[in-house]
């Protein structure tokens, strides 16, 4: 059983019911809708196809809205030309004038860039393909003179990065606000918030969700800059998870630092029990080829071994020639890497010092499951919190999360090793466990005579009440000994 989850981005290559059904069968657990591209009617069409696919397959998936964020881009090139540069060329950078670009005069969408950067700093274009150094600043004209560092080409509307600079961009744009309101109306489960740099960005998003009735939507900030890395502890604490967004990160910081930052962010999220997604270019070559490179296979496996909850596909499933094959390939790699994981989570020893009742109960459950070779750990959870606290310990046994809300079940699809199960709300936990056992026997997860570990909070449905661990054996009819 694969325990690492898969986030699959939908786009032109996966824009029909047949393909989406195939993606679900291939292993997609959460579908990502990238609002940097497409308008609301286009995204609504995809969301409706996913909902239809869930009905056809009987398989639940999560819905994730990824915001465009407050990014900086160049303007349009005159005649949509592609400009060619050589080392030593000079470019005048203008600030949001709206004038079309010519080769030696490029406009950017963020007027405040002039104030944020200093002479001697770097400005990179198109994911770092064109590197420049700031030679001078003209305060009267509010223009920068740049020196080109390498031969490159530059088309229209390309991304702009200023590595190491604390930009004063606002966290939420007007477009983001409109998109989020739209997404909440469609029942999204997660928001992947782009370019989160500081804790206040998370709080602003939380406030907006309260305003539009989306207070139960989980916030997954994307750490993409040095400023975001510096503030990661507080960002993750305030959020509901985190995405290691390696694309812009690899431009904003030295690329050789990305693996260390990836490892650090995964560890931070594991330590506080919040789901972490590792993203960007994981199987990038599969946009054009039916098989991954060996380096890509190792990259995916490395993320799993470090403790990521989910691995993500972007262009591979959204725009590539092999969307279904890329999901299947990632599922195979994830499952194999799951089997290579160490028996104990890297955060276990650190958590043993915790005075939290829920954490102590989760450790006791995982330890008991290991010692009695339990076939499953079954937990009752209203919000998903208890299941996530067990998930971060990476137990060998599958985690079956019983919940009475469809939304919690969908959101747990992002957490490592968790299989959610929706049951009617009941007054006696024994009845709920018996119902779950019958379904698990039917699905082949457990069999008569198997040992299971049960984690429950008494009284039921009271937040923070997780305080009981029971060891039980399954009977033929699903009742416990």
Going from the C-alpha of 59 to that of each of 23, 24, 446, the distances in angstroms are 11, 8, 20
Residue 426: per-residue pLDDT: 74
Whole-prediction pTM: 0.93
Residue 465: per-residue pLDDT: 65
Instruction: Please tell me what DSSP assigns to residue 273.
Output: T
Residue 92: CB atoms within 10 Å: 15
Strand partners, 107: 94
Average confidence (pLDDT) per 10 residues, the chain, 481 residues = 97 97 99 96 98 98 97 95 98 95 97 97 95 97 98 96 91 95 98 96 98 98 96 98 95 94 97 97 97 98 97 97 99 97 82 85 94 95 93 96 95 98 84 89 91 86 76 72 48
Residue 212: CB atoms within 10 Å: 15
CA distance 334 to 326: 12
Residue 265: per-residue pLDDT: 98
Residue 223: per-residue pLDDT: 97
The catalytic site residues sit at: 32, 73, 222, 280
Sequence-distant (6+) residues with CB within 8 A of 371 are none
Cis peptide before 459 (omega within 30 of 0): yes
Instruction: Delineate the domains of the chain, giving CATH numbers in brackets.
Output: 5-69+171-339 (3.20.20.60), 78-161 (2.40.33.10), 348-473 (3.40.1380.20)
């Amino acid at each position: 059983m694969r325990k690492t989850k898969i986030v699959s981005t939908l786009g032109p290559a996966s824009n029909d019911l047949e393909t989406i059904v195939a993606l679900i069968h291939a292993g997609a657990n959460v579908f990502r809708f990238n609002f940097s591209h497409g308008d609301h009617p286009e995204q609504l069409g995809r969301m409706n196809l996913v909902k239809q696919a869930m009905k056809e397959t009987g398989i639940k998936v999560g819905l994730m809205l990824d915001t465009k964020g407050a990014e900086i881009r160049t303007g349009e090139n005159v005649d949509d030309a592609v400009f060619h540069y050589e080392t030593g060329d000079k470019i005048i950078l203008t600030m949001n004038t709206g004038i079309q670009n010519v080769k030696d005069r490029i406009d950017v969408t963020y007027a405040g860039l002039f104030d944020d950067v200093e002479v001697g700093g770097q400005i990179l274009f198109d994911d770092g393909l064109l590197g420049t150094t700031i030679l001078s600043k003209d305060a009267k004209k509010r223009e920068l003179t740049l020196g080109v560092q390498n031969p490159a080409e530059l088309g229209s509307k390309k991304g702009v990065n200023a590595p190491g600079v604390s930009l004063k961009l606002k966290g939420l744009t007007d477009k983001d606000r409109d998109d989020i309101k739209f997404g909440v109306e469609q029942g999204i489960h997660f928001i992947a918030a782009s370019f989160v740099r500081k804790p206040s960005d998370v709080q602003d998003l939380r406030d907006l969700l309260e305003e539009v009735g989306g207070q139960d939507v989980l916030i997954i900030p994307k750490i993409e800059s040095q400023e975001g890395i510096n503030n990661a502890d507080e960002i993750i604490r305030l959020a509901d998870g985190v995405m290691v967004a390696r694309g812009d990160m690899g431009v904003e910081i030295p690329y050789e630092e990305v693996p260390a930052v990836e490892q650090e962010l995964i560890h931070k999220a594991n330590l506080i029990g919040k789901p972490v997604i590792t993203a960007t270019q994981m199987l990038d070559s599969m946009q054009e080829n039916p098989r991954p490179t060996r380096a890509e296979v190792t990259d995916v496996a490395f993320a799993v071994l470090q403790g990521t909850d989910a691995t993500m596909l972007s262009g591979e499933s959204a725009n590539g020639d092999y969307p279904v094959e890329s999901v299947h390939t990632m599922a195979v790699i994830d499952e194999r890497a799951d089997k290579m994981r160490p028996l104990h989570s890297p955060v276990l020893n650190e958590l043993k010092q915790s005075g939290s009742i829920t954490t102590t109960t989760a450790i006791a459950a995982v330890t008991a499951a290991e010692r009695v070779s339990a076939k499953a750990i079954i937990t009752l959870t209203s919000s998903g919190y208890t299941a996530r606290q067990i998930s971060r310990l990476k137990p060998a046994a599958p985690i079956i999360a019983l919940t009475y809300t469809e939304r919690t079940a969908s959101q747990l699809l992002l957490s490592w090793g968790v299989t959610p199960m929706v049951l009617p709300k009941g007054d006696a936990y024994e009845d709920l466990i018996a119902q779950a056992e019958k379904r698990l026997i039917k699905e082949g997860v457990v069999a008569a005579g198997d040992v299971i570990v049960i984690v429950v909070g008494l009284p039921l449905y009271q937040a923070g009440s997780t305080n009981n661990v029971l060891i039980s054996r399954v009977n033929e009819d699903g009742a416990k000994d």
